[in-house]
Amino acid sequence: MSNTNRVYRLAKRPEGTPDHDTFELSEEEIPEPGPGEVLIKTLYLSVDPYMRDRMRDSESYEEPWDVGDPLKGAVVGEVVESNGARFDEGDVVTGELEWAEYATAPGPVLTEVNPDLAPISTALGVLGMPGLTAYFGTREVAQPSAGDTFVVTGAAGAVGSVAGQLAKLQGARVVGFAGSDEKVSFLEDDLGFDVGINYKTTDDYQAALDEAAPDGVDAYFDNVGGPITDAVFTRLNTDARVAVCGQISLYNSEDVPMGPRKLTQVIQSRATVEGLLVSDFEPRFEEGTKQLGQWVASGDISYRETVTEGIENAPDAFLGLFEGENIGKQLVQVAER
């Protein structure tokens, strides 16, 4: 075990898009686990778009970080020392921990990961928070049925790629927006989406929707917001359901831009528009993880991971999310088991 611990802290609050100056990598002592705690060696850490909101000095559904605070996110790690906790040395666990090579945590905030069920990295992706977000957002909020047309933005990301496949399992026609031809091929050839749309090479989103969804949109899973959502709202069918999961197109905006006002479309369609926070479904996480695991094991759900090596490259992995560099779940591998 190393004698030092590299930890990322928030160096400053970004104005607009974060850059490398937003992050400070410091070398510190490896922490000692207190009573009921374990010391964890980080194997994988997750970078996610919602973390951008925690860099602001404003209220949000997640508490903002102060300048100088360690950055935190979902981690899969190995227990290297236990001080009376319910885990033993060598156990693999997941929880919200610091962006660090080593971290301590109380046993109750951690969940054991079974390495025999699936690769441990999936606990941060298809079998973790992104997969659960897709599971509950699709099944409980967007609620596609057989014969419906389901549209998802950020479709090649960790959440969108699973949401689209879940809609296909329900018998829906699935249309996904993504940011490259490679991603469109991934959606159509690997995941079985009916139509993928490269939004970066599409000049007219409404015309693209008319072609991809000629019968209108019955269910919409929104990860992006912005002009694509404006276009989708004009194509909502009567009693359509909209799950608002993310607004990544706006996360780096200092002032939220005024877009076309589309609430008239909601009046006409009598659509239901509902915000989605996966934490609301925490009592049912075991149900969702079990079902997703069965679908992954049977091949009904496929997944892809983009893995960046080395904790020193974690900022690059995070910043790449806003450039659309990842396909599937973006992870940072910090160490090998």
pLDDT digits (tens), the chain, 337 positions: 778 999 999 999 998 889 999 999 999 999 999 999 999 999 999 999 888 888 987 777 778 889 999 999 999 999 999 999 999 999 999 999 999 999 999 999 999 999 988 999 999 999 999 999 999 999 999 999 999 999 999 999 999 999 999 999 999 999 999 999 999 999 999 999 999 999 999 999 999 999 999 999 999 999 999 999 999 999 999 999 999 998 877 666 667 677 667 788 889 999 999 999 999 999 999 999 999 999 999 999 999 999 999 999 999 999 999 899 999 999 999 999 9
In the chain, the amino acid numbered 320 is G
Helix axes 285-298, 129-136, angle to 10 degrees: 100
CA 314, 246, 98, 8 torsion-angle sign: positive
φ and ψ at 196, to 5 degrees?
-115, 140
Cα separation of the two ends of the chain: 12
Q: Kindly report the pTM of this predicted structure.
A: 0.92
- What are the structural domains, with CATH classification, of the chain? 4-124+304-333 (3.90.180.10), 129-279 (3.40.50.720)
Rg of the chain on CA atoms, in Å: 20
Cα 193 to its chain centre, rounded Å, is 19
φ and ψ at 182, to 5 degrees?
-60, -40
What is the Cα–Cα distance from 213 to 219, expressed in whole angstroms?
A: 11
